Structure 1
Amino acid sequence: MGPDMGQGKAAGPPVTVIKPTRGWRIINWRELWEYRELLYFFIWRDIKVRYKQTVLGAAWAIIQPFFTMVVFSLFFGHLARLPSDGLPYPIFYYTALLPWMYFANALSSVTNTIVENQRVITKVYFPRIILPVSVVFSGLVDFGIAFTVLIGMMLFYGVFPTAAILAMPLFLLLAVVTALGVGLWLAALNAIYRDVRHVVPFLIQFWMFASPVAYSSSLIPEKWRVLYGLNPMAGVIEGFRWAVLGQGHPPTLLGVSVAAVLLVLAGGLFYFRKMEGTIADVV
């Protein structure tokens, strides 16, 4: 008998069909889960590149906030005599600089991540949002290294955490979400308008003085508190001090800050998804 003509042909290689996203879904969670190993690769790559061929290596994560703390303690503390909520000036400033330095570095890196990875974007498909997410998470390594110095400083000054320390991850998460939300807007805009990266340093500098890094939030008049709460980093820094040190002011108007950052994040996700289909053409 001849070969069985009823048998199907041998299966060919799998075919993946890429279609544009539709509807109001801003994140394809299933797709992100399928590319989780690529996300891990980008995070690990960012960490290695940051410390590759450096003399001091991971010590840079400590040097920047530490010496900034020294300058703030000298000029804003001992010379200007700004209130520190009863805390030693070095502790007061360093605790605020930790989340701020993380946010500032993450925001600056996320802004440039699409342009810096243009060769990868134009050659292969993957969810573009993986790039800003990987940058935001890789910055947590620097935060963890710098946080060890804060532990030593707290032991030196005899400042010990209270039960409020359990809330610290929540304020760190708020800083992560803020950096991602604002960074998505700037990353998409920077892919189209390359001069956006020149605006970011000025934005970060202005934002720092609009946040309670060099001063206590108690200096803000009561009538301006609601407006001040629209700055999510004000809630992050104020809450981070309170959670870690167990002293100072508990975070006020935190709900306003959370609502503001969620609105920025949702807008950033929508705008980034809208530009995702054309980023490879304009980058």
Structure 2
Amino acid sequence: MATLEPPTTSITGGANSALPLDRSHTPTIIEPKRRWWQFTWRELWFYRELLFFLVWRDVKVRYKQTLLGASWAIIQPVLQLVVFTVIFGRLAGISTNGIPYPLFNLAGLLPWHFFANTVTQAANSLVINAGIVRKVYFPRILIPTATIGSGLVDFGLAFVVLLALMLWFQWPPTPVMFLLPVFVALAMLTALGVGYWLSAIHVKYRDVRHATPFMIQLWLFATPVVYPTSLIQGPWQLVYALNPMVGVVEGFRWALLGTQAPSLAMLISVTVALTIFMTGWLYFQAAERTFADLI
């Protein structure tokens, strides 16, 4: 009578011989940075598609389930323009050196709204995306950086209104209008620098959510949006230039409307803007290690 024996399996070649590995997929090893100030630009480039997705998501969410949609990007500065024109242009009678006050004011409101909206969204971005921060690895700095996208969309829509207002007042563009992107880029650096600071602090101290609107409101009146910088006289001009948005607003008006050309104050504003951006970037990198534990 024949006996049945269980089949034997040869393991001479080891596990690799039975189940060959796919050598085309190299495993990714995630390990902490040796120094907090180190940043791999290659990693940021690797996650570029995620940055695009975050920008696109912020743009969609901003106007999702709204009655007027993207029209809010135009309505907000226009309503603020009407209020400022009545109060500061008519009642206070602020001189704008021959430029129609609505045109003068809107040329300051556009870069200011871009800055204020970006800072407000960036300050709350990490807390709002807490679920992603805790569960998935990616460069966390992409989250506040992505808020710049919706700000640029709003800026582009409102800029069309400014061009229409220039046609209404028959105000010709200046020969240096091509420099406008330079001042928009300066506003971007300032907004991102402040956004990096506030978003990293917000993870630890939730007071930032309440303090940010108040800070933005005070910052508005410390910026020449409703009045010209010519009202600031003497050595106070250099102190005033420590506000980086002074250089942004004045440069924007100069390139678009032909106001007084930038002076030494512009150099000070640019230096402060770059300093805020770099220090914000470094502080964010230093605080990033604790985000998943605190958020």
- Report the TM-score range of the alignment, normalised by the length of the smaller protein: over 0.9
User: Aligned equivalents of 2:228 and 2:48: distance in 1?
Assistant: 40
Q: Which runs of 5+ in 2 are unaligned?
A: 1-9
- In structure 2, the residue matched to 1:136 is 148
Q: CA RMSD in A?
A: 1.8
- In structure 1, the residue matched to 2:34 is 22
Matching residue within 237, 241, 265 for 2:277: 265
| Greater than 6 Å deviation, 4+ residue runs | none
- In structure 1, the residue matched to 2:261 is 250
- In structure 1, the residue matched to 2:130 is 118
Mean Cα displacement is larger for which, 168-177 or 252-261? 252-261
Amino acid at match of 2:147: V
**Secondary structure in structure 2 of the residue aligned to 1:55:** coil
User: Aligned equivalents of 1:240 and 1:181: distance in 2?
Assistant: 20
User: Aligned equivalents of 2:71 and 2:187: distance in 1?
Assistant: 22
User: Aligned equivalents of 1:280 and 1:23: distance in 2?
Assistant: 18
Matching residue within 88, 94, 98 for 1:76: 88
Aligned length: 281
* Aligned residues of 2:36 and 2:285 also touching (Cα < 8 A): no
2:199 is equivalent to residue 187 of structure 1? yes
* Aligned residues of 1:164 and 1:243 also touching (Cα < 8 A): yes
User: Aligned equivalents of 1:96 and 1:21: distance in 2?
Assistant: 42
- By how many angstroms is 1:24 displaced? 6.8
Amino acid at match of 2:123: T
**Secondary structure in structure 2 of the residue aligned to 1:82:** coil
- By how many angstroms is 1:3 displaced? 10
TM-score w.r.t. length of structure 1: 0.95
Q: How does 1:31-180 map to 2 (within 5 A)?
A: 31-180=43-192
- By how many angstroms is 1:138 displaced? 2.4
Amino acid at match of 1:188: A
* Aligned residues of 2:36 and 2:286 also touching (Cα < 8 A): no
- By how many angstroms is 1:26 displaced? 4.9
Q: How does 1:193-272 map to 2 (within 5 A)?
A: 193-245=205-257, 247-252=258-263, 253-272=265-284
User: Aligned equivalents of 1:276 and 1:24: distance in 2?
Assistant: 9
Per-residue CA deviations over 1:223-265 (Å, capped at 9, x if unaligned) read 11111111000000011011111x2112222111111111111
**Secondary structure in structure 2 of the residue aligned to 1:122:** helix
Larger Rg computed on CA atoms: 2
**Secondary structure in structure 1 of the residue aligned to 2:28:** coil
* Aligned residues of 2:109 and 2:225 also touching (Cα < 8 A): yes
* Aligned residues of 1:96 and 1:241 also touching (Cα < 8 A): yes
- By how many angstroms is 1:25 displaced? 4.5
Mark the CA change 1:151 to 1:26 in structure 2 (over 3 Å): closer, same or farther: farther
- By how many angstroms is 1:22 displaced? 3.1
- By how many angstroms is 1:4 displaced? 9.2
User: Aligned equivalents of 2:39 and 2:172: distance in 1?
Assistant: 41
Mark the CA change 1:122 to 1:157 in structure 2 (over 3 Å): closer, same or farther: same
Q: Which runs of 5+ in 1 are unaligned?
A: none
Per-residue CA deviations over 1:100-131 (Å, capped at 9, x if unaligned) read 01111110000000000000111100000000
* Aligned residues of 1:86 and 1:248 also touching (Cα < 8 A): no
Identity, % of aligned positions: 49
User: Aligned equivalents of 2:40 and 2:262: distance in 1?
Assistant: 33
